Amino acid sequence: MSVALKHKVWICGQGAIGSLFGAYCVTKGVDVAYITTRPRNIGTCVELLPEITESQLNETTHYELPTPQLLPVKEKIEILIITVKAAHVIQALNQVQPFLTDHCHIILSHNGLGTIEEAKSIMLPTQSLYFCTTSFGALKQGNQVIETGIGESIWSLVQKGVSVQPLNQQHMANLFPNAKESDSLTEILWTKLAVNAVINPLTVLHDIKNGEINHQRFDKIKVAVLNELILVAKHSGVTLELQPLLELVESVANRTKDNSSSMRQDIKNKRATEVDFINGFIVQEAKANNVKAPINSQLWQQVKDLESSLS
């Protein structure tokens, strides 16, 4: 069951996942608009799988999304979903903040960790912050976005605004496909970080599709990356175990074996990656807790070097 949303939903970020969310909102009858800080004169066409649209004909459905509106915008924003890369989240929030209502609901959704506390520090006490992590797959090529895999969208309220009624599961069911509320967001984010910390840099550095990291030649480095993450997570109050994480990484890689990781797509398109908020985050947290993470550090630096060589 879902509850109708009274306000227009604005999305900052029209990449693969931002477009996927927008198209899903359209299927639920939600009024959607995109906002951008850079001129963009085309919209995006999204192809959704029948499992999402509940198509009786078992066919994919195409949705044309509106052209993003350039700041400043005339109307105040009550609900904002930010799907830009982690490195751009705080800049985007700062730029859009003057156009938010005092009781705005702000939802972050990106790979990696390290943005939540800073986002909270620049929000008004009456504004609410949420985080949504999704395992849905999507591929963007030009202005075309294709949904490539079914997953779930796990969300949680991070900070409740003063005197504000927060969004609930019924509202979120209109915003995110297969939305599920969780009271263990931190553990879920660390678990997803583990998947990204292995699959993303290895697929980039070896220029391979996701499924190929299950080759035995990557066994030792996968274990090393995860063991470092487990140690760092423990210092953050999160207990993780190697075998379940390793099985999850290999399961995701197998399930998405023909996909190109988001970081590999970034490199191929000469865009900055999110490695600072994935392996880089692990290294920074390790330093803060006086522990070592040499393998994550090596992967982080190698991806950064590759980024620099392409710029």
- 132-155 pLDDT, tens digit each: 999 888 888 878 888 887 889 999
Q: Which of 136, 163, 182 is the last residue of a domain?
A: 182
Cis omega (within 30 of 0) for bond into 72: yes
d(Cα 192, Cα 206) in Å, to the nearest integer? 21
Indicate if the alpha-carbon torsion angle 224, 226, 228, 231 is positive or negative: negative
Residue 285's CATH number: 1.10.1040.10
Q: Which pLDDT belongs to residue 25?
A: 94
Burial environment of residue 21 by CB neighbours within 10 A (0 to 12, 13 to 18, 19 or more) = buried
Residue 174 sits in the same domain as residue 199: no
* 276 DSSP 8-state letter: G
Residue 22 sits in the same domain as residue 167: yes
Q: Which pLDDT belongs to residue 187?
A: 94
In three-state secondary structure terms, 158 is strand
Q: Which pLDDT belongs to residue 51?
A: 67
In three-state secondary structure terms, 249 is helix
Residue 57 sits in the same domain as residue 71: yes
Q: To 5 degrees, how large is the angle CA 79–CA 15–CA 268? A: 155
Residue 102 lies in a domain: yes
Q: pLDDT tens digit string along 8-65? A: 999 999 888 999 999 999 999 999 999 998 776 566 888 887 766 665 446 678 888 8
CA-nearest of 192, 215, 212, 190 to 203 is 212
Residue 4 lies in a domain: no
Name 154's bridge partners. 133, 180
d(Cα 303, Cα 311) in Å, to the nearest integer? 13
Residue 139 sits in the same domain as residue 236: no
Burial environment of residue 210 by CB neighbours within 10 A (0 to 12, 13 to 18, 19 or more) = buried
Backbone angles phi, psi at 18, to 5 degrees: -60, -40
Residue 155 sits in the same domain as residue 224: no
Domain count, the chain: 2
Give the Å distances, CA to CA, from 180 to 142, 152, 227, 281: 31, 7, 29, 26
Q: Which pLDDT belongs to residue 188?
A: 92
Residue 156's CATH number: 3.40.50.720
Residue 42 sits in the same domain as residue 133: yes
Q: Which pLDDT belongs to residue 60?
A: 78
Q: Which of 182, 208, 237 is the last residue of a domain?
A: 182
Residue 173 sits in the same domain as residue 204: no
CA-nearest of 9, 78, 71 to 36 is 71
Q: Which domain holds residue 246?
A: 187-310
* 49 DSSP 8-state letter: -
Ranges of residues in the chain whose predicted pLDDT is under 50 = 1-2, 56-57
Residue 148 sits in the same domain as residue 194: no
Residue 261 sits in the same domain as residue 118: no
Residue 274 sits in the same domain as residue 160: no
Residues 18 and 29 sit within 8 Å (Cβ to Cβ): no
Residue 80 sits in the same domain as residue 131: yes
Residue 55 lies in a domain: yes
DSSP collapsed to 3 states, 206-217: CCCCHHHHHCHH
Q: Which of 156, 182, 208 is the last residue of a domain?
A: 182
pTM of the predicted protein model: 0.90
Q: Which pLDDT belongs to residue 41?
A: 57
Residues 126 and 162 sit within 8 Å (Cβ to Cβ): yes
Residue 1 lies in a domain: no
d(Cα 80, Cα 34) in Å, to the nearest integer? 9
